[in-house]
Amino acid sequence: MKINFSEMAARRGVPLKISARLDADRLLGDRRDVLRTTPMQVELEASMASGIVMVDGHISGDIVFSCARCLDEVKRHMDVPFHEAFSHDEKLDDESDDDMFHISQDEFDLEPYLEAAFLLHVPFVALCREDCKGLCPVCGTNRNEEVCSCNTERIDPRLADLQKFFER
């Protein structure tokens, strides 16, 4: 997924459509909570105006996580918007208030920018639902499905003697 400033200028305003796939398994391989992913589909449109290459589009696909509390599978559809501007001219970078990437070469690869945008939208902690009750730390029962009668009350060991005082 390379963009060439000279080729974009030669297109004279005709947008360049880019369809590709992003390997989410490689990007999320270190995360133990990610069970499986589909290849992320990238649909972009690049156009050049006034020496600035604007790339707009989205990255979409599915990720299956393990819930951080109850370990159930959580399927999330990712639809990540992508809107970035790239400039080859240093003068444009200094004058512009917009966020813009300055590229010193005539050609650059979009993949690192796509990967960063995708990773910023992946949830840090995946939950099956906001009010997930999780697993019982004693018997391992999924508290979302049934109620267990385990005593999960924890007493600070520094205050254990005080509890004995009140039991009298």
- 34-37 and 52-66 beta bridge pairing: antiparallel
pLDDT band at 90, cuts 50/70/90? Answer: low
The pTM of the full predicted model, rounded to 2 decimals, is 0.77
The amino acid sitting at 106 is: D
Tokens 């990007």 sit on residue = 27
Structural domain spans, the chain: 2-132, 133-168
| Distance, CA of 99 to CA of 45 (rounded, Å) | 18
DSSP character string of 80-127: EEEEEEEES-HHHHHH--S--EE--SSEEESHHHHHHHHHHHS-SS--
- What's the confidence (pLDDT) of residue 27? 86
Contacts of 137 (CB under 8 A, 6+ apart): 152
User: What is the pLDDT averaged over residues 71-79?
Assistant: 94
What is the percent of the chain with per-residue pLDDT over 70, rounded to a whole number? 93
Summarised one tens digit per residue, pLDDT across range 28-67 is 888 899 999 988 999 999 998 888 889 999 999 999 999 9
Does the pLDDT value for residue 102 go beyond 80?
yes
- What's the confidence (pLDDT) of residue 40? 92
- What's the confidence (pLDDT) of residue 78? 93
DSSP 3-state of 164: helix
Neighbouring C-beta atoms of residue 30, cutoff 10 Å: 7
User: What is the pLDDT averaged over residues 86-96?
Assistant: 65
User: What is the pLDDT averaged over residues 4-11?
Assistant: 83
- What's the confidence (pLDDT) of residue 57? 95
Q: Which residue has the higher pLDDT, 12 or 60?
A: 60
User: What is the pLDDT averaged over residues 88-117?
Assistant: 77
Q: What is the mean pLDDT of the chain?
A: 86
- What's the confidence (pLDDT) of residue 120? 92
Does the pLDDT value for residue 98 go beyond 60?
no
pLDDT band at 13, cuts 50/70/90? Answer: confident
| Distance, CA of 122 to CA of 84 (rounded, Å) | 19
> Which residues in 103-139 are b (16+ Cβ under 10 Å) and which e?
beeeebebeebbbebbeeebeeebbbeeebeebbeee
- What's the confidence (pLDDT) of residue 25? 85
